Amino acid sequence: MLAEFREFINRGSFIDLAVGFVMGVAVTGVVNALVERVIMPLIGLLFGEPNFDNVLTFGETVDGVPVGSVGAVITALVTLLFVALALFFIVKAYNRMQRDEPGEPEPEAEPEDVILLREILEELKARRAG
């Protein structure tokens, strides 16, 4: 069982997954800060409050927060929209960087005469061996 575990850990996909998870956590902090500290305050400037939590409320209040609030759902949906938008721009910029990065040039196709000569050489080697 220990050997199987070691094989599992040594697979590249496990390490890639771990790195992706850690980077996802880091990006989450950046995106949340962007939405909560930049975008939602801009909404507050437009609508008078930084969120919609007090819109369409019903029921009793607990510690000043309404128990039933359609506005809280609207705030969550707006936050989701802006988080998705921020991630879209991050992924788009990343893809552009990947595309612009000079990679290894693709190998040129071998000319037909070289391929034909290689086939002849292999045929001659096969006849000698056989």
CB neighbour list of residue 94: distance below 8 Å, 6 or more residues apart: none
Residue 95 neighbours by CB under 8 Å, 6+ apart: none
Average pLDDT over residues 89-110: 77
pLDDT at 123 exceeding the cut of 80? yes
What's the confidence (pLDDT) of residue 101?
A: 66
- Give the chain's mean pLDDT: 79
pLDDT exceeds cutoff 70 at 129: yes
Kindly report, residue by residue over 49-76, the tens digit of the pLDDT. 777 777 777 767 767 766 777 777 888 8
Three-state DSSP class for residue 94: helix
Range(s) of the domain holding residue 69 = 2-129
Domain count, the chain: 1
Q: What per-residue confidence (pLDDT) applies to 10?
A: 73
pLDDT computed for residue 90 by the predictor: 80
Query: CA 90, CA 53: separation in Å to the nearest integer?
Result: 28
Q: How much is the pLDDT for 113? A: 87
Q: What is the DSSP letter of 59?
A: E
Could you tell me the CATH number of the domain that includes residue 70? 1.10.1200
Q: Please write the tens of the pLDDT for every residue from 22-54.
A: 888 888 888 888 878 888 888 788 877 777 777
Q: How many helices (H) and strands (E) does the chain have?
A: 5, 2
Per-residue pLDDT, 116: 87
pLDDT for residue 111: 86
Residue range 4-11: mean pLDDT, rounded: 75
